Amino acid sequence: MAADTGRSAYLDALHLLSRRALTVAECRERLLAREHAADTIEAAIAHLLETRSLDDKRLALAHARTAVEIKGRGRLRVVRELQARGVDKDVAAEA
Protein backbone atom coordinates (compact mmCIF):
# COMPACT_ATOMS: atom_id res chain seq x y z
CA MET A 1 0.00 0.00 0.00
CA ALA A 2 2.90 2.35 -0.57
CA ALA A 3 2.67 5.45 -2.69
CA ASP A 4 3.81 3.54 -5.77
CA THR A 5 0.48 1.67 -5.87
CA GLY A 6 -1.18 4.95 -6.84
CA ARG A 7 -3.11 5.25 -3.59
CA SER A 8 -3.27 8.83 -2.39
CA ALA A 9 -1.96 9.99 0.97
CA TYR A 10 -5.50 11.09 1.83
CA LEU A 11 -6.97 7.65 1.18
CA ASP A 12 -4.16 5.98 3.11
CA ALA A 13 -4.80 8.33 6.02
CA LEU A 14 -8.53 7.55 5.97
CA HIS A 15 -7.71 3.85 5.96
CA LEU A 16 -5.39 4.30 8.96
CA LEU A 17 -8.00 6.35 10.82
CA SER A 18 -10.70 3.77 10.17
CA ARG A 19 -8.77 1.35 12.37
CA ARG A 20 -7.57 3.63 15.16
CA ALA A 21 -7.73 7.27 16.18
CA LEU A 22 -4.39 8.93 15.48
CA THR A 23 -2.78 12.22 16.35
CA VAL A 24 -1.60 14.50 13.57
CA ALA A 25 2.00 13.48 14.35
CA GLU A 26 1.19 9.75 14.24
CA CYS A 27 -0.69 10.14 10.96
CA ARG A 28 2.21 12.08 9.44
CA GLU A 29 4.73 9.43 10.57
CA ARG A 30 2.70 6.58 9.13
CA LEU A 31 2.18 8.30 5.81
CA LEU A 32 5.92 9.03 5.60
CA ALA A 33 6.58 5.35 6.30
CA ARG A 34 4.32 4.54 3.34
CA GLU A 35 6.62 6.71 1.21
CA HIS A 36 4.19 9.47 0.31
CA ALA A 37 5.67 12.82 -0.70
CA ALA A 38 5.81 15.44 2.05
CA ASP A 39 3.64 17.92 0.13
CA THR A 40 0.87 15.36 -0.46
CA ILE A 41 1.02 14.36 3.21
CA GLU A 42 0.60 17.97 4.32
CA ALA A 43 -2.29 18.47 1.89
CA ALA A 44 -3.98 15.30 3.17
CA ILE A 45 -3.50 16.33 6.80
CA ALA A 46 -4.87 19.82 6.08
CA HIS A 47 -7.97 18.27 4.51
CA LEU A 48 -8.41 15.85 7.42
CA LEU A 49 -8.11 18.72 9.91
CA GLU A 50 -10.71 20.72 7.94
CA THR A 51 -13.17 17.84 8.05
CA ARG A 52 -12.25 17.11 11.69
CA SER A 53 -11.30 13.54 10.81
CA LEU A 54 -8.05 14.37 12.60
CA ASP A 55 -8.46 16.23 15.86
CA ASP A 56 -5.76 16.07 18.54
CA LYS A 57 -8.00 17.73 21.12
CA ARG A 58 -10.83 15.21 20.66
CA LEU A 59 -8.35 12.32 20.75
CA ALA A 60 -6.72 13.72 23.91
CA LEU A 61 -10.06 14.03 25.70
CA ALA A 62 -11.08 10.48 24.77
CA HIS A 63 -7.70 9.06 25.75
CA ALA A 64 -7.70 10.92 29.07
CA ARG A 65 -11.22 9.79 29.91
CA THR A 66 -10.40 6.15 29.21
CA ALA A 67 -7.03 6.26 30.96
CA VAL A 68 -8.40 7.87 34.13
CA GLU A 69 -11.84 6.29 34.48
CA ILE A 70 -11.19 2.79 33.20
CA LYS A 71 -7.47 2.21 33.63
CA GLY A 72 -7.08 4.28 36.81
CA ARG A 73 -4.07 6.23 35.59
CA GLY A 74 -2.99 9.51 37.12
CA ARG A 75 -3.16 12.90 35.44
CA LEU A 76 0.60 13.29 34.93
CA ARG A 77 0.92 9.86 33.35
CA VAL A 78 -1.92 10.64 30.95
CA VAL A 79 -0.29 13.94 29.97
CA ARG A 80 3.03 12.14 29.33
CA GLU A 81 1.28 9.48 27.22
CA LEU A 82 -0.42 12.12 25.12
CA GLN A 83 2.80 14.06 24.62
CA ALA A 84 4.53 10.83 23.57
CA ARG A 85 1.84 10.45 20.92
CA GLY A 86 2.61 13.93 19.58
CA VAL A 87 -0.17 15.93 21.21
CA ASP A 88 0.77 19.52 22.05
CA LYS A 89 1.67 20.06 25.71
CA ASP A 90 -1.15 22.58 26.29
CA VAL A 91 -3.78 20.35 24.66
CA ALA A 92 -2.57 17.36 26.68
CA ALA A 93 -2.71 19.33 29.93
CA GLU A 94 -6.20 20.59 29.14
CA ALA A 95 -7.49 17.08 28.52
**How do residues 33-74 score in pLDDT, each as one tens digit?**
999 999 999 999 999 999 999 999 999 999 999 999 888 999
Residue 2 has pLDDT above 80, yes or no: no
3-state SS of the chain? Answer: CCHHHCCCHHHHHHHHHHHCCCCHHHHHHHHHHCCCCHHHHHHHHHHHHHCCCCCHHHHHHHHHHHHHHHCCCCHHHHHHHHHHCCCCHHHHHHC
Q: What is the pLDDT of residue 6?
A: 52
